[in-house]
Amino acid sequence: MSSELDSSEVTETLDVQGANCPMPVIKTKQAIDGLSTGDVLEVVATDSGSMSDIKGWAETTDGVELVDQVEGDGVYTHYVRKTE
Amino acid sequence: MSTDTSTASDTSETVDEPDAATVAELESRIEELEASLAAVEADDGPKKMSIIATKGTLDMAYPPLILASTAAAFGWEVQVFHTFWGLDILHEERSKNLKLSAVGNPNMPMPNAIAALPGMDSMATKMMRKKIADNNTASIEELIQTSLDMGVEFQACQMTIDLMDYDEDDFYDGVTTGVGAATALQFMGDADVQLFV
């Protein structure tokens, strides 16, 4: 998955560190709504549940694609592309 | 016997070569079915979720609001019908003051006999509120506002508004009043997910 993403591709970064369920998913959705097709949103979270939740949301929601998820040192970073 | 055999073979010939009228009838039936299948497949609008919220304690207010706001983030059409104590979640003033019951909850670290003493509910509520704040969990008010912003339809049951002596103006802006069981059922009948909390 990571090979697909180049850091220069990130259009916008959303910081949801400290926020818990359901806010990381909701704020991700709201941020994606403000982007254009093809844009990539980087979501930085500290909620460990966001690994499963952002994935589940991206797989269920039309118009978004999960490009990558990186876990490290209590911080969970997600890359979501707006596809339509 | 020989007559029977010849009849059977006649029948099978008829089946092999149906008359033109039957073929035309079947073809038109197939076209009809294909058209209705296409209509069903085309009707792939967003999923729908219906929640009935009946409880007004602090712990029971969270699940419907978390599920409603998250489903809205999925792009689903969401309707939450609040009735009885569930109305308090939508009540602008009372929603800020929802309580936790110390009695009847076996997970509480105290026996019911002590939990029933005056002041214990407030203490349990205060402890829970502190935990919510420390954990950075969204407040009830924040979840309601977020849900409303994302298009969740909150409905306050008119019969219980009258029963509880509430006023329609007591609820958050954007909450629908003047609705009853039939309105809830109409949406539920069409919903992909139906929950009772």
DSSP annotation of A4: G
B114, B120 contact by CB (below 8 A)? yes
Annotated domain spans of chain B: 2-42, 48-196
Percent of chain A with pLDDT over 70: 93
Q: A16: nearest CA in chain B? A: B136
- What distance in Å separates the CA atoms of residue B57 and residue B98, rounded to the nearest whole number? 6
In this predicted structure, the answer to whether residue A9 has a pLDDT above a threshold of 90 is no
A interface test, pick of B62, B132, B136, B140 with most A CB neighbours within 10 Å: B136
Q: What is the CATH code for B48-196?
A: 3.40.1260.10
Helix (H, G, I), strand (E, B) or coil at B108: coil
- What distance in Å separates the CA atoms of residue B26 and residue B193, rounded to the nearest whole number? 38
* Domains along the sequence of chain A with CATH: 2-82 (3.30.110.40)
Taking the Cβ of residue A84 and every Cβ of chain B, the question of whether any pair is shorter than 8 Å is answered with no
Residues in B 12-31 with any Cβ partner in A closer than 8 A: none
* Per-residue tens of pLDDT for chain B, all 197 residues: 444 544 544 555 555 777 888 999 999 999 999 999 888 777 678 999 999 999 999 999 999 999 999 999 999 999 999 999 999 999 999 999 999 888 887 888 788 888 888 888 888 899 889 999 998 899 999 999 999 999 999 999 999 999 999 999 999 999 999 888 888 888 998 899 999 99
> Catalytic residue among A21, A30, A38, A48, which?
A21
Range list of β-strands (E), chain B: 48-53, 77-82, 153-157, 176-179, 193-196
B145-176 b/e (C-beta count within 10 Å ≥ 16 → b): bbbbebebbbbbbbebbeebebeeebbbeebb
Beta bridge partners, A16, equal: A45
Q: What is this model's ipTM?
A: 0.79
Strand ranges of the sheet holding A64-72, from the earlier edge strand across to the other edge:
A10-16, A40-45, A75-82, A64-72
CA distances from B127 to A41, B95, B110, B132, B136 (A): 37, 17, 13, 9, 14
- What distance in Å separates the CA atoms of residue B57 and residue A70, rounded to the nearest whole number? 38
